Chains A and B, each alone.
Chain A
Amino acid sequence: DIQMTQSPSSLSASVGDRVTITCRASQSISNYLNWYQQKPGKAPKLLIYTASSLQTGVPSRFSGRGSGTDFTLTISSLQPEDSATYYCQQTYSPQTYSTPPWTFGQGTRVEIK
């Protein structure tokens, strides 16, 4: 199975700061990488799909980059409502259709100072 490793596990930053979360895959996954945001007691919400495509309705301060094994999620100007845990997920497809298991990173908790 493909392992996903996020760093850091947690971070604390001030409103307006630029924040970057890294996700590394144990093997190349092309651009089959998604990012989700989860607030306490709530379901995860899709932010970014296929590494860099912004989901409709998600603020433009969120962006994703990467390909192969290394990916980043960046919040360009941190807002109070961005306090949450962020997860990456791989849905790699060596064939026409992606095959499970579709593994998640362990999560990165973002707190506001």
Chain B
Amino acid sequence: EVQLLESGGDLVQPGGSLRLSCAASGFTFTSYAMSWVRQAPGKGLEWVSAISGSGGSTYYADSVKGRFAISRDNSKNMLYLQMKSLRAEDTAVYYCAKDVIVGGGRWFDPWGQGTLVTVSS
């Protein structure tokens, strides 16, 4: 069974930093791109970042570019999101998701249970 388990969410002050982790199991981790998607309280879904299976290609939403860094450790089946210069608007539940890419199509399945990041003084 494919499982994704996020951790690292916390209360952090504006301007602070935080690293989220996502532990993957049940599939060949290195064969799949991975994404982070966030959801602010009571709001919709926002794609944040993605990384290729090898880790050689990374992608970011404009809202986090230059402040967040996605990475992965394929030897440990771990995905990370390093967040710095955090703002109140970064407050959200952060989900990791496995990217399924077939032909030109791409979808996210499954998703982890999410970890809450709160940016507040």
What 15 new A-B contacts, CB under 8 Å, besides A46-B110, A98-B106?
A32-B104, A36-B108, A38-B45, A42-B113, A43-B111, A44-B111, A89-B45, A91-B106, A91-B107, A93-B106, A98-B101, A98-B104, A101-B61, A101-B62, A104-B46
Chain A contributes a number of interface residues (CB within 8 A of B) equal to 30
On whether A87 and B44 interact (CB within 8 A), knowing A32-B105, A96-B104, A98-B106, the answer reads yes
* B47 contacts A by Cβ under 8 Å: yes
Q: Count B interface residues, CB 8 Å.
A: 25
Interface string of A87-106 (1 = CB under 8 A from B): 10101010011111111111
B-side contacts of A97, CB under 8 Å: 101, 104, 106
CB-nearest residue of chain A to B114: A43
* With known contacts A44-B95, A104-B44, A98–B113 Cβ distance under 8 A: no
- A36 CA to B111 CA, complexed, in Å: 11
Q: Knowing A43-B114, A97-B101, A100-B61, say if A34 contacts B107 (CB, 8 Å).
A: yes
Interface residues of B (CB under 8 A from A): 35, 37, 44-47, 50, 59-62, 95, 100-101, 104-114
Seen from chain A, the residues whose Cβ lies within 8 Å of a Cβ on chain B are 30-32, 34, 36, 38, 42-46, 49-50, 55, 87, 89, 91, 93, 96-107
